[in-house]
């Protein structure tokens, strides 16, 4: 491909842009992962990731994409044939259900229309009917990356508590962590699943399970077959700075850098920055006269905005124009909303002017693709950003 001047705009909701500081941290000779230098590195990484989850409990790091950490959460805590309650918030929730089925669990799926998060009252109603405690885990996605709806995890916890049901609470915050507020301990989450390439600003390649005492206890009697994903060997070796197999050493350098950057900015400031960019993006979308996919204002995602297309217009055609003309990648509609919407990622290492460039590209692309819009959405975003600088 011919050289294109200027940076590519990677505005998909993950993988996100990797800042130069992290790239430079990763660019080092790989070291002996059984030596003392590595042990210090591992201890540092394992300690620094905990406040990002807002936890004091162990966080296990796998050399895998997020999907591996989904599987790890299930195989360590459950037994073959166990019933798990899941909610169809979008494509990622759907993929997790498929994974659960393939490994021999029995997911019960609460259907959804892909325009909102997990309804806490529906969880409460279902669990209160499960008098025999057949449901062993409630599995939900925190930030549904395919739609732009963020579930109220604290309220889901309260709903579970209201029923006194003993089910484990497993939460996928693969795209939420580091961008949207997440509180593993306070919200009583038993396993939080995450990944490196979204809010954490790293390249793809490492994933996480933050585990509660209850989850570790459950893992001692859980009967699913597991080897690579087994927590016990990780939990046994991690305190001395060791891993049971070769870790993604260079990504651990990057992880430490990412944690330092987030703590430097202040975690709450990171979240506020994401909220502000999301609000500016929504103002642009509304001005264009297009629908925001998430229908519940309490669940608007700070990570991405899903934009619905008017009938008769193909979102993928708009994305194609924008990629060709402006060298910007936007997220495609996934699964059953393919072609019906596109996603603007505004997460990770991202600032006001990057958002302005992104929205400008979207506005121009919509016009060039012949989508009927009210022009001036970018101005609406600028007005908001300059009034809330
Ligand atoms: C990206 C993502 C996944 C899948 O993670 P991979 O790293 O692609 O395996 C799962 N759930 C959510 C919510 C995601 O955003």
The structural domains of the chain, with segments of one domain joined by +, span 9-16+266-387, 20-263
- Does residue 43 contact residue 232 with C-beta atoms inside 8 Å? no
Peptide bond into 15 cis (omega under 30): yes
Residue 304's DSSP bridge partners are 345
Q: How far apart are CA 322 and CA 374, in angstroms?
A: 18
pLDDT score for 388 = 73
pLDDT score for 1 = 76
CATH architecture of residue range(s) 20-263: 3-Layer(aba) Sandwich (3.40)
203 lines ligand 1 (CB under 6 A): no
250 lines ligand 1 (CB under 6 A): no
pLDDT score for 164 = 98
Q: For residue 95, report the distance from its CA to the centre of ligand 1, in Å.
A: 9
Q: How far apart are CA 205 and CA 127, in angstroms?
A: 36
Q: What is the pTM of this model?
A: 0.98
99 lines ligand 1 (CB under 6 A): no
pLDDT score for 58 = 98
**9-16+266-387 and 20-263: identical CATH topology:** no
Please list the ranges in the chain whose pLDDT falls under 70.
Answer: 389
Q: How far apart are CA 106 and CA 78, in angstroms?
A: 11
Q: For residue 140, report the distance from its CA to the centre of ligand 1, in Å.
A: 13
Pocket test for ligand 1, best of 12, 86, 174, 202 (most atoms within 8 A of CB): 174
Q: Is 116 exposed, middle or buried (0-12, 13-18, 19+ CB in 10 A)?
A: buried
Q: For residue 289, report the distance from its CA to the centre of ligand 1, in Å.
A: 30
Q: How far apart are CA 237 and CA 278, in angstroms?
A: 41
pLDDT score for 2 = 87
User: Does residue 24 sit in helix, strand or coil?
Assistant: helix
Chain center to CA of 185: 18
- Does residue 66 contact residue 34 with C-beta atoms inside 8 Å? no
Sheet holding 304-308, edge to edge: 9-11, 328-332, 341-345, 304-308
Length of the chain equals 389
Q: Which protein residue's CA is at the shortest distance from atom 2 of ligand 1?
A: 174
Does domain 9-16+266-387 correspond to CATH entry 3.90.1150.10? yes
Q: For residue 65, report the distance from its CA to the centre of ligand 1, in Å.
A: 8
- The DSSP letter of residue 280 is H
- Does residue 224 contact residue 80 with C-beta atoms inside 8 Å? yes
Share of the chain above pLDDT 70, in %: 100
């Amino acid at each position: 491909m011919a050289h294109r001047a200027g940076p590519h705009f990677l505005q998909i909701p993950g993988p996100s842009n990797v800042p130069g500081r992290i790239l430079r941290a990763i660019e080092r000779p790989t070291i002996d992962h059984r030596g003392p230098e590595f042990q210090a590195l591992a201890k540092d990484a394992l300690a620094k990731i905990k406040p990002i989850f807002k936890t004091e409990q162990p966080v296990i790091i796998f050399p895998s994409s997020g999907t591996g950490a989904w599987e790890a959460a299930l195989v360590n805590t459950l037994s073959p044939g166990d019933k798990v309650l899941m909610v169809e918030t979008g494509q990622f929730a759907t993929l997790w259900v498929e994974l659960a089925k393939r490994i021999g669990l029995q997911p019960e799926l609460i259907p959804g229309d892909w325009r909102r998060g997990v309804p806490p009252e529906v969880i409460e109603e279902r669990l209160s009917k499960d008098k025999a405690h057949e449901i062993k885990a409630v599995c939900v996605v925190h930030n549904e990356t395919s739609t732009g709806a963020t579930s109220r995890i604290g309220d889901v916890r309260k709903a579970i508590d209201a029923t006194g049901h003993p089910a484990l609470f497993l939460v996928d915050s693969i795209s939420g962590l580091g961008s949207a507020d997440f509180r593993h301990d306070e919200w009583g989450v038993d396993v939080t699943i995450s990944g490196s390439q979204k809010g954490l600003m790293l390249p793809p390649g490492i994933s996480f399970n933050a585990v509660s005492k209850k989850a570790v206890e459950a893992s001692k009697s859980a009967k699913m077959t597991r080897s690579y994903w087994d927590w016990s060997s990780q939990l046994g070796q991690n305190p001395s700075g060791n891993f049971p197999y070769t870790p993604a050493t260079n990504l651990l350098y990057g992880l430490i850098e990412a944690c330092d950057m987030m703590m430097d900015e202040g975690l709450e400031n990171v979240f506020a920055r994401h909220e502000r960019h999301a609000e500016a993006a929504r103002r642009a979308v509304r001005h264009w006269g297009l629908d925001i996919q998430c229908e519940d204002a309490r669940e608007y995602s700070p990570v991405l905005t899903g934009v619905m297309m008017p009938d008769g217009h193909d979102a993928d055609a708009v994305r194609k124009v924008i990629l060709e003309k402006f060298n910007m990648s936007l997220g495609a509609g996934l699964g059953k909303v393919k072609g019906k919407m596109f996603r603007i990622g505004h997460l990770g290492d991202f600032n006001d002017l990057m958002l302005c460039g992104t929205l400008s590209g979207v506005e121009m692309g919509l016009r060039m693709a012949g989508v009927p819009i009210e022009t001036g959405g970018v101005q609406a975003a600028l007005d908001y950003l300059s009034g809330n600088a």
